[in-house]
């Protein structure tokens, strides 16, 4: 029987430090690859909200111009959403404006020759807002338009 004690045997520990270093480097490299792959995964899209400086306006008869209307597009953290694409329809869905929000999430417009739907004394301005990373916002009853 051999009287060698494992506490006095240094052969097992000779390559241990270099193996630990190599395994640590390989592990960190693997973790970096996994984290890089995870950053490319599409996250849940954010939610857009739109705020208008007016809620309604009146036109004389069945056709007229709108006042200047300022829309502010924000996300769920109340941060402005810059570069959002906006499409605006008049109540008759024949008058259309389009644009993008500025760095403060604002877009100002004026609709000319707004017409109400045939036989109606009121209608609504509709807005669609699109931005990458967010769900599209489709607001069909944003601003009420009345005939006086």
Q: What is the pLDDT of residues 75-113, one digit of tens each?
A: 999 999 999 999 999 998 888 999 999 999 999 999 998
Q: What is the dihedral of CA 23, 28, 29, 30, to 10 degrees?
A: 90
Number of helical H runs and strand E runs in the chain = 1, 10
For 7-52, write each residue's pLDDT tens digit: 566 665 566 678 888 889 999 999 998 888 877 776 788 999 999 9
HSE-up of 80 (CA within 13 Å, CB side)? 12
Residue 36 lies in a domain: no
In whole angstroms, what separates CA 38 from the centre of its chain? 20
The answer to whether position 35 is within a domain reads no
What domain range is 89 assigned to?
48-147
Residue 31: HSE in the Cβ half-sphere, 13 Å Cα cutoff? 6
Total count of domains within the chain? 1
To the question of pTM greater than 0.75 for the whole model, the response is no
Between 63 and 71, the more confident residue is 71
Q: What is the CATH number of the domain that holds 73?
A: 2.60.40.10
- 89 within a domain of the structure (yes/no): yes
Query: Does some domain include residue 43?
Result: no
pLDDT on residue 132:
93
Confidence band for 124, pLDDT divided at 50, 70 and 90 = very high
| Domain contains 72 | yes
As a whole number of Å, the end-to-end CA separation of the chain is: 112
On whether residue 5 sits in a domain, the answer given is no
Q: Is residue 123 part of a domain?
A: yes
Distance CA 27, CA 102 (A): 45
């Amino acid at each position: 029987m051999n009287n060698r004690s494992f506490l006095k045997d240094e052969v097992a520990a000779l390559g241990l430090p270099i193996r630990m270093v190599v395994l640590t480097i390989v592990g960190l490299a693997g973790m970096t690859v996994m984290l890089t792959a995870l950053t490319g995964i599409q996250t849940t899209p954010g939610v857009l909200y739109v705020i208008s400086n007016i809620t309604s306006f009146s036109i004389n008869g069945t056709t007229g111009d709108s006042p200047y209307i300022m829309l502010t597009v924000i996300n769920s953290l109340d941060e402005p959403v810059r570069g959002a694409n906006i499409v605006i329809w008049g109540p008759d869905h024949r008058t259309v404006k389009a644009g993008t929000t500025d760095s403060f999430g604002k877009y100002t417009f004026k609709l000319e020759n707004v017409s109400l739907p045939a036989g109606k004394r009121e209608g609504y301005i509709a807005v669609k807002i699109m931005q990458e990373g967010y769900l599209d916002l489709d607001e069909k009853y944003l601003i009420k338009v009345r005939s006086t």
